[in-house]
Structure 1
């Protein structure tokens, strides 16, 4: 019975995603939903406890350029205050309740900036999560009831997530539970897809939920028309005679913790399961090292058939802690990601400033010539020559490497090569935009000095302007990635971005010296001041040589004066 029901479910959702370009594992696709079209790979706007942090107004969301393609929210935050009954009474799902009409919504099983699991033991029937209202035991039935009230365009099945350091036995238990809960979610998904039709005796139409009051008519506040490609008029409400989850894609949760073999086994269990509309990489960003994530992603996706991946999107949560994380995920075939990175840098008062495209004439470094390397290895070893100019960087022309052009960021004021710190007092009189050449709302209308003033006076508008800029900048970054994939130069683009980060961010420390008496007579050990280094005998001899050459000061002063060595 499950197979036949799931097959009908898949028939209504399998055509929502298609791949249009590939470059190795990286791919560009089109995800069509009833509330708009998403060009992948894409990042989704982060929300906390249901709503965007600062871009709360539909006008502010519409002002972001490039535009916001979709929104991610944690379904666990709607278990209580508000719960499913309040959302059902409201009748317009997450789109209407959160004023997100016209934006595709993905409901995941966790918040990417916090970890709701592992506070208390879960069972085979329920998972324990800790949210803003306390601890809750969540069964598949309660989870899907919440999903039906939210009416998202995409949602992740219930998952028993474990941290990266979980034992292999605990990981195996989590895989077993997640697979069992996926079957329960598939059955409930079918039920909620056809709930209204079954209640009305099969196919009889019922009046759809109203979109709003008369004040919303004709002004676009109730959603965008299908003519502009941003969604239909119902804006998340069910079609006549269909259930609340009609047209929603179910993304199967792929667990496995920090073990690549277990992730491959978990993915193989759902590789050919009917009724699955996509896949969600769960449990990432829970303690594993960033360099381990590509292997974990590859293990999960490598166990899936190419045919299944061709028509099903891949979502990953907890990855986007830096631009490099985004590039690494896209390189392994991830289509959708949450955008917690923007929320984190905005909360710190930062504005993203990293370049989006290589400068004209940039070429990838040439591959190292094996003959030259072998010849260099055969060359006799010479004694190192003293460097006259110690500030000059070592040559690396043999391997075709070069430092990033231009001066590096000023780390003394909290900047690095991706962002600037608007809390710094160095911007209090800066009349320039957050990023020269940026066309976002914040950069076109406001200066760094103004945003610095807003942050220091604790005005919310400062965070609003920063999030508008940072969201637009990260969207432009994904746009550049899509262009690189379409043109078949994604790896070249990735090498260029890495070259920007190859130089050290923190400059070499200033020469810190220790102090001791300039005297030829043996002296007692002197405890150096904090931040100084120990004096060597060579340094003491250099001091004596300096004194013998007639250094400044009388002999009596030279005996008692502290000197730097």
Structure 2
């Protein structure tokens, strides 16, 4: 029987890198890691039914505290008995604290208390604090909640980043204190921008709190790939080994591989479904633009190596037709395929780690320049 809200088991470490194979136990099911997590911001992964998500073997999905707080609101979620019951999803859910969404708003004021902003729905003033973020996430009832943090822009000045690191630490302590839901795990988030010493400072601060897992935040915010790689190599392996490690907001195969190589376990991104809605497929041979006219007469599947519903039942030519006619079905089929591709991708990554050939797998995959995006 599971004791507490979450248990992490380290199953194997690759002999030639920091890649690791693990397992996370939650009251709503087991998560095999490394894992890609589809994003369901508003309590739904766009255009997909729950049965679609189970067919592609999604083990955990994300919800967003900020958006769910605005609509449908806490009273609706309380009345429904939490997000699992509201959306009829019985597998694990992780919720973002809403910090990234709040900081992406133009009209906001940050103070040590929290972030004051106007609701994008009706313009009313809202003060988002660590305490409110915890109240929202506890009401949602996700299996994993995130501490409220400040995500700074890629070009932020060092002095501001330094202040932000200390503010995030104070908010982390307040989040931990306000979080009282015993069957819900809480992860802390390491910040620090692109300054290695500030990353170390934040890591020391955040890991001093007994969180159930730890995340690297503030990456994939517009920086160059080389900067992401530098911070990942510096910070990833330093996170506690006995707890899950989550890098927020990344979803290309290239960055997933880089993250795994540096000890990360969990990833999420809207990219696969967003690409699908815009007519692009992710495949083992790189991106495929199915809007292109050259696919008009194609009778081949999206990806010969894929076992998803779209690939098993429809051709590139048919999906090209749907996308060109802006039919909803085309967007659904490509969203199903792209998520299945990434889930299969991390499944192969897990196998490679178990067999101590992760670096070979990475090298072989990236030897095709089409896979670097």
Do the structures match in fold with TM over 0.5?
Answer: yes
User: Corresponding residue for 1:451?
Assistant: 319
User: Corresponding residue for 2:70?
Assistant: 80
- Superposed, 1:47-196 pairs within 5 Å as 47-55=40-48, 57-64=49-56, 67-91=57-81, 93-99=82-88, 101-110=89-98, 116=104, 119-128=107-116, 132-133=120-121, 136-190=126-180, 193=181
1:353 equivalent among 277, 283, 289? 283
Deviation sequence 1:299-351 (CA, Å, 0-9, x none): 334554xxxx232101111222x211111111111110103221232122012
Q: Does the residue aligned with 1:433 lie in a helix, a strand or coil?
A: coil
Q: Does the residue aligned with 1:20 lie in a helix, a strand or coil?
A: strand
**1:20 Cα deviation (Å)?**
0.3
**Residues 111 and 501 (structure 1), Cα distance of their counterparts in 2 relative to 1, 3 Å cut:** farther
**1:431 Cα deviation (Å)?**
2.1
User: Corresponding residue for 1:255?
Assistant: 191
TM-score between the two structures when normalised by the length of structure 1: 0.61
- Distance in 2 (CA, whole Å) between partners of 1:296 and 1:129 is 30
Contact 1:116 1:131 survives alignment (8 Å): no
User: Corresponding residue for 1:264?
Assistant: 200
Deviates more, 1:148-157 or 1:124-133: 124-133
Contact 1:43 1:478 survives alignment (8 Å): yes
Q: Does the residue aligned with 1:310 lie in a helix, a strand or coil?
A: coil
- Distance in 2 (CA, whole Å) between partners of 1:111 and 1:270 is 16
Q: Does the residue aligned with 2:4 lie in a helix, a strand or coil?
A: helix
* Structure 1 alignment gaps of length 5 or more: 1-10, 194-245, 355-416, 506-565
Contact 1:261 1:299 survives alignment (8 Å): no
Of structures 1 and 2, the one scoring higher in RCO (CA 8 A, sep 6+) is 2
**1:254 Cα deviation (Å)?**
0.9
- Distance in 2 (CA, whole Å) between partners of 1:454 and 1:113 is 32
Deviation sequence 1:50-82 (CA, Å, 0-9, x none): 321111x22222222xx1111012211122122
Contact 1:21 1:485 survives alignment (8 Å): yes
**1:112 Cα deviation (Å)?**
7.9
* Structure 2 alignment gaps of length 5 or more: none
**1:291 Cα deviation (Å)?**
1.2
Deviation sequence 1:122-154 (CA, Å, 0-9, x none): 010112467753674301121111011110011
Q: Does the residue aligned with 2:132 lie in a helix, a strand or coil?
A: helix
Contact 1:120 1:128 survives alignment (8 Å): yes
- Distance in 2 (CA, whole Å) between partners of 1:258 and 1:36 is 35
Larger radius of gyration: 1
User: Corresponding residue for 2:331?
Assistant: 463
User: Corresponding residue for 2:13?
Assistant: 22
**Residues 349 and 111 (structure 1), Cα distance of their counterparts in 2 relative to 1, 3 Å cut:** farther
- Superposed, 1:121-520 pairs within 5 Å as 121-128=109-116, 132-133=120-121, 136-190=126-180, 193=181, 246-274=182-210, 276-304=211-239, 309-320=240-251, 322-354=252-284, 417-501=285-369
For the aligned residue pairs, the C-alpha RMSD in angstroms reads: 2.4
Contact 1:112 1:340 survives alignment (8 Å): no
**1:48 Cα deviation (Å)?**
3.4
TM-score between the two structures when normalised by the length of structure 2: 0.91
Deviation sequence 1:394-421 (CA, Å, 0-9, x none): xxxxxxxxxxxxxxxxxxxxxxx51211
- Distance in 1 (CA, whole Å) between partners of 2:221 and 2:370 is 27
Structure 1 moving runs of 4+ over 6 Å = 111-115, 502-505
- Distance in 1 (CA, whole Å) between partners of 2:319 and 2:18 is 40
- Distance in 2 (CA, whole Å) between partners of 1:185 and 1:119 is 24
